Amino acid sequence: MSEAQNSVKFVPAVCPKCGGQLEVDPTQEAATCKYCGTPFIVEKAIHNYNIQHAHIDHVDSVHVDMKGSVDSVINFVEREIDKNREVKRESKRLDAENSQAMIKIFFKYFAIISIAMIVIWVLANALGWLK
């Protein structure tokens, strides 16, 4: 290894997917979590670690804006509801198609049986079986 490679200082980071505690090379742009295998941006993982391990000595006021989080949850729920509605519509459409197919089959067999009965009745009359 060269002298430059030996002098790399790894810094603590947190995997954005699984929350695993990592040591990363801050000079790299991306890395892969050794726990879950998820690729991530090194700068974001370091930032996540710094937020989780921040020390606050003094605060005059705090404002937490959760609108983005609430909006994303609402959007997710709306998408899931839309997917569910689409699945139900498709299920109803398939049920209607199956029902129509069953009705066609019923009338096809009804017609065949009716014709067969008429043919048997005509033959029975012609042969004198129904006297």
Which ranges of the chain have pLDDT less than 70?
A: 1-6, 51-69, 131
For residue 93, the enclosing domain spans 83-131
Number of separate domains in the chain: 2
Could you read off the pLDDT of 25-34 as tens digits, one per residue?
999 999 999 9
On whether residue 74 sits in a domain, the answer given is no
On whether residue 111 sits in a domain, the answer given is yes
On whether residue 128 sits in a domain, the answer given is yes
On whether residue 67 sits in a domain, the answer given is no
Q: Are residues 46 and 87 in the same domain?
A: no
On whether residue 104 sits in a domain, the answer given is yes
Could you read off the pLDDT of 10-21 as tens digits, one per residue?
999 988 888 888
On whether residue 46 sits in a domain, the answer given is yes
| Residue 128 to residues 45, 80, 116, Cα–Cα distance (Å) | 97, 71, 18
